[in-house]
A and B are shown apart, each in its own frame.
Chain A
Amino acid sequence: MTRVVVDREVCMSAGVCEMEAPEVFRLDADGVLQVGEPTDLTAVETAVRACPTGALQLVD
């Protein structure tokens, strides 16, 4: 099952993923990235690619 892994050391809470795939990524009130089930894989792949710090990875 495909899922998203976040490197917490690298994530800068830029929020680009949230713009690309809002159903899956959400920055909570503390600015910490919350990740849901990757429903729309195309949008998630775009978000992973768009991450400016390279903090996101798709793994099977």
Chain B
Amino acid sequence: MSSPTPDLDTVDLSDRTFWGAPPEQRHAVYDQLRRERPFAFFAEPVIPYIEPGPGYHAVTRYADVEAISCRPALFSSGSGAVSIADMPPDLNEFYGSLISMDDPRHGKIRRIVAKAFTPRVLEDLVGNVQAVADDVVARARRTAEDGDGTIDVVADLAAPIPLRVICDMMGIPDDDRAMVLQQSNVILSGGDPELVQSEEQMVTAFLKAGEELAGLMARLAAERHAHPADDLTTALVSTEVDGERLTRQEIASFFILLLVAGNETTRNAISQGVLALSEHPAERDRWAADPGLTRTAVEEVVRWTSPITWMRRTATQDVELSGQSFPAGSKFLLFYGAANRDPAVFPDPHRFDLARDPNPHVGFGSRGPHFCLGAHLARREIGVAFRAFADQLPDLEVVGPPARLESSFVNGLKRLPARLTRCR
């Protein structure tokens, strides 16, 4: 990497501005942490109204991420997987749903959800991914033609595809979709100043967003209960495992998880995939010429972008990792983007190689009970989206630097200016 060697003593992964900087910088830090301080300790970021916790270890080596993920009894998710600070348990469960839950409850709910969310069920439900992608691409072209030839890759291409797919799957009415996008943005903003006006407002904005989404879901669940339809919401309200159904609260939480996790992650994989292709034109041309490359290319886009920066685990007892001891209660952030560039696993890890195979990346999480439930949906969306771009937007050209989300949790872009050069 060309970035100068960072001074680890001045690096603070809890500082939001670190995450708004160009990715070369974070990868230079990851590389050095992985080599020199594989369990580097950081103080927790300050959040208004939340008691600061004891701090956390940044896990950057692939083998350690794997060792933690596959031992859920030792490394718990129940005290919070998506926040560094311990959140009140009810809030945690509401926003994190399955992500912030341990067995046996996690297993039970995941099986209910899985029943409504198997790849086979999805094949039927999301037969329209192609139609959605084609329509989004056509609209983007019209936007460019009606205007000055420019589009925003995030707003015009990357955001609408997963949003429409997930809303179609859930049966969300058209009128509610703008609200859904806006509120899921707030929940995953990580307090980015552009999306949340002040740090003090962060907690209240977050709560309000959750309330609005839960309200929509309560309304929808009641409707589907009375009038079943051919959608995921109907499956969720009617699915039983061992005679048990999801409660209203569980359905609302899962809905928020799906919306937020299903929208933002895929959106950021797509937008940063477009950016990566524009920075690697030879790879872009190679994929455009060879649709057969899609299987490995999708995996490489996910490895390269690692849309979720970390998930947290908490030691349930005194534990040992790679010969180091940690007391019960230690917090670990699993830095997936760092594991995904670990040279012990990926030859030439900073090379963007669409044919990379094998590619055992942990962009969907590492092996374990919390592996991304929507991985197959995401893979399909990304594959279909990039084929549609290659075939229908061959003149797409990134024309400016991206605006990065200042969030340590979501590796995201807010905007990416581009031009369709055939438009004028």
Contacts and interface: CB of A to CB of B under 8 A. Distances in A.
Interface in B150-180: none
Nearest to A51: B367
B118 A13 contact: yes
Contacts of B112: 31
Contacts of B369: 10, 12, 53
B118 A53 contact: no
B375 A31 contact: no
Given A14-B371, A14-B373, A53-B368, A27 B118 contact: yes
A35 interface: no
A1 to B, nearest CB: 27
Interface string B81-120: 0000000000000000000000000010011101100111
Interface string A30-50: 110000000000000000000
A14 B241 CA distance: 15
Contacts of A19: 119-120, 376
Interface string A10-35: 10111110110000000100110000
Interface string B351-372: 0000000000000110111011
A51 B122 CA distance: 18
Given A52-B367, A53-B368, A54-B70, A12 B110 contact: yes
Contacts of B375: 14, 16, 52
A13 B376 CA distance: 13
Contact of B111 (A12, A16, A18, A52): A12
Contact of A27 (B107, B115, B372): B115
A19 to B, nearest CB: 5
Contacts of A54: 70, 367-368
Interface in B109-146: 110-112, 114-115, 118-120
A15 B118 contact: yes
A12 B113 CA distance: 10
A18 B110 contact: no
Contacts of B115: 13, 27, 30-31
A53 B114 contact: no
A52 B371 contact: yes
Nearest to B123: A19
B70 A16 contact: no
A53 B371 contact: yes
Interface string B36-65: 000000000000000000000000000000
Given A31-B241, A52-B375, A54-B70, A15 B120 contact: yes
Contacts of B371: 12, 14, 52-53
B376 A15 contact: yes
Nearest to B368: A53
Nearest to A9: B107
27 contacts: A9-B107, A10-B369, A12-B111, A12-B114, A12-B369, A13-B111, A14-B114, A14-B373, A15-B120, A15-B376, A16-B119, A16-B375, A18-B119, A19-B119, A19-B120, A27-B114, A27-B115, A27-B118, A27-B120, A31-B241, A52-B367, A52-B368, A52-B371, A52-B372, A52-B375, A53-B369, A53-B371
Interface of A: 9-10, 12-16, 18-19, 27, 30-31, 52-54
Interface of B: 70, 107, 110-112, 114-115, 118-120, 241, 364-365, 367-369, 371-373, 375-376
Q: What 10 A-B pairs have minimum CB-CB distances, sorted nearest first? A: A31-B115, A52-B371, A15-B118, A13-B114, A15-B119, A19-B119, A12-B110, A27-B118, A54-B367, A13-B111
